[in-house]
Amino acid sequence: MGYRRTCFVAVLCAALLSTASAQVARRRTVSKGPRALGLIELDAKGSGHLVPVAIMIDGRFYDATVYKADPVPMALQPGTVYEGVKSGVSQGLFTVNNPIPHNGWLGLGIWKSHEQIEAEKEAAKAHTAKLAQKAPEDDKAGGPPRLSRAPEGAHPRTTTEPAKTAETKTADDEDRPKLKKKTVEPQSSVDSQDSASLAAAEAGRPVLRRQPDGAIQQQTKMEPDTQPLKGTLQLIPAISDADGPQPRPYTYETKPEEDKEFMKKMSAMAADEVKHRVETLYGSDAKAKPDRPSTAPEFHDAQLKVLDISGTNEAVLIFTATAIVPSHADRQFSTAVVARQDIYADLHKIFGHTTDNNHLDVQPRYEFIDAVDADGDGRGELLFRQVGDTGTGFAIYRVIGDRLWPLFDSKPGS
C-alpha cells in the first residue's frame, strides 16, 4: 500500500511540474521599455508621416510629443524605426528622418511595406548573382592589368635619357595619374545623434529601435509649414521598441450570420447610449410623444470591429457610428461602444461614450483606431483618437474583466 501511494505522489508531482513548465514556456516576453507608440498616416501613393502618441518608460505612459523634447521629442529622433501593425499583424517599417513642429510634432520619413522590403532583398540578390557570373568572364579576358617587377639585378631605369630638370619634370608629370586623398566630409547631425544613441546603449541606458549602424538614411525635405495629407488616409499604429516582443494577430474568426447578430446587438446598445444623451440634453421633452418625430437614432458610417486581444478566443467588440435623432435633427451625435462576450456568448457593455457636435469642446468624439500592444505584454490595448474643437488627442485603454482601464489620455488641445 505504501509503495502504491509513493508512486501516485511521484506521478502527481511530475504532472504538476510538467504543467508549470508548460505555463512558463508560454509566458510572453514583457517589454522593459522604452516603448513608443505612434500613428502612421499614409496617402494613396504610400507617402506619409508619423504622429507620436505615447511612450512607456518603466511601465508608465507619457505624452510622446513632449517627453524629453530638447527640442525634438525622444520618440522622433532621426533614425528611429517604427514597425507598423494592423490588428497585431506587421505591415512594414517607418523610419523617422526629419521631425518637424506641426500642430505639435510630426515625423517625416520613409515607409516601406514588407512587399517593398522583400523586393529590395530580391533585387540585391539578383545584382550579386550577376556580378558573380561576370567575374569569370573577366578572368578569361586576362583580367585587369597587373604591375610586374623588374628582373633581379636589373636597374629600374633602363633608358639613357638625361635626368629631368625641375621644370621638365613638372611639365612631363602633369598627365601622369596621381593618388587622391579622400576628403573627410563634416559629420551630419543625424550621424551624431546615431552615435549618441549608440553611446547611450553602451552606457546601459535603454533606447528606441534604431537603424542598423552604418545604414544609409534617406533625407526628406524639411518644411515647417507641411500641409496635411490629402485624400483618404490609411491609419496604421506603429511601435518602436529595441527589445520588445514580436507582434501577434488579434483576429477573431466569425461567420456572416454571427457578424449580423453582433451588429444588431451592438446597434441596440449604441441606440440606448444616444437616447440617454438626448434625455440628458433635453430632459423630459426628449421622450417620444405621439405628435412628435421618432426618437430612435438613425446610424450612419457604422463600423464594427471584433477582436481577440487576449489570445483566449474571447471576443471584444468595438462599435462606432454617427447618429441623427429625427426629433432633434439639428444635432449630430457620435457614439462609441465596447462590449465583451462571455463564455455563454452573451455580450456585456464595458464602455460607452456619446457626444454631439455642439459639445465637442467638453466631450470629444471618439474614433477607434485599432488594437495595439502598447505596453509590450503580448496583449492588445484599444487605441482611440479623440477629436474636439481645439484639436485631437489619444486614449489607450486596457480591457480588464467588464471594464476598460485607462492607461493613457492626452486631451485634445492640451
pLDDT digits (tens, 9 = 90+) for 244-261: 889 999 999 999 999 999
* Residue 220 and residue 361 in one domain: no
Let me know the angle formed at the C-alpha of 67 by 66 and 70, rounded to the nearest 5 degrees.
80
* Residue 221 and residue 308 in one domain: no
> How many structural domains is the chain composed of?
2
CA 367 distance to own-chain centroid: 18
**Which residue, chain included where needed, has cell 471584444?**
316
Is 288 inside a domain boundary? yes
Burial class (CB in 10 A: 0-12, 13-18, 19+), 355: buried
pTM of the model: 0.74
* Residues spanned by the domain of 60: 28-128+198-247
Is 208 inside a domain boundary? yes
Q: Mean pLDDT over residues 266-288, rounded?
A: 86
pLDDT at 210: 78
Is 68 inside a domain boundary? yes
Is 167 inside a domain boundary? no
Q: Mean pLDDT over residues 330-337, rounded?
A: 95
Over 60: is that where the pLDDT of 225 sits?
no
Residue (of 214, 174, 177, 175) closest to 194 by Cα position: 214
Is 6 inside a domain boundary? no
Is 192 inside a domain boundary? no
Is 223 inside a domain boundary? yes
User: Each residue of 379-392: pLDDT tens digit?
Assistant: 999 999 999 998 99
* Residue 229 and residue 303 in one domain: no
User: Each residue of 12-35: pLDDT tens digit?
Assistant: 444 444 444 343 334 456 777 799
How many Å apart are CA 372 and CA 352, to the nearest integer? Answer: 20
Quick check: bond before 249 cis, omega within 30?
Answer: no
Cell readout for 239 is: 511601435
Over 70: is that where the pLDDT of 94 sits?
yes
* Residue 360 and residue 397 in one domain: yes
pLDDT at 231: 81
How many Å apart are CA 239 and CA 293, to the nearest integer? Answer: 48
The neighbouring-strand residues paired with 351 are 338
Question: Which of the residue ranges 17-26, 49-58, 164-173 would you say has the lowest mean pLDDT?
Answer: 17-26
Band the pLDDT of 139: cuts 50, 70, 90. Answer: low
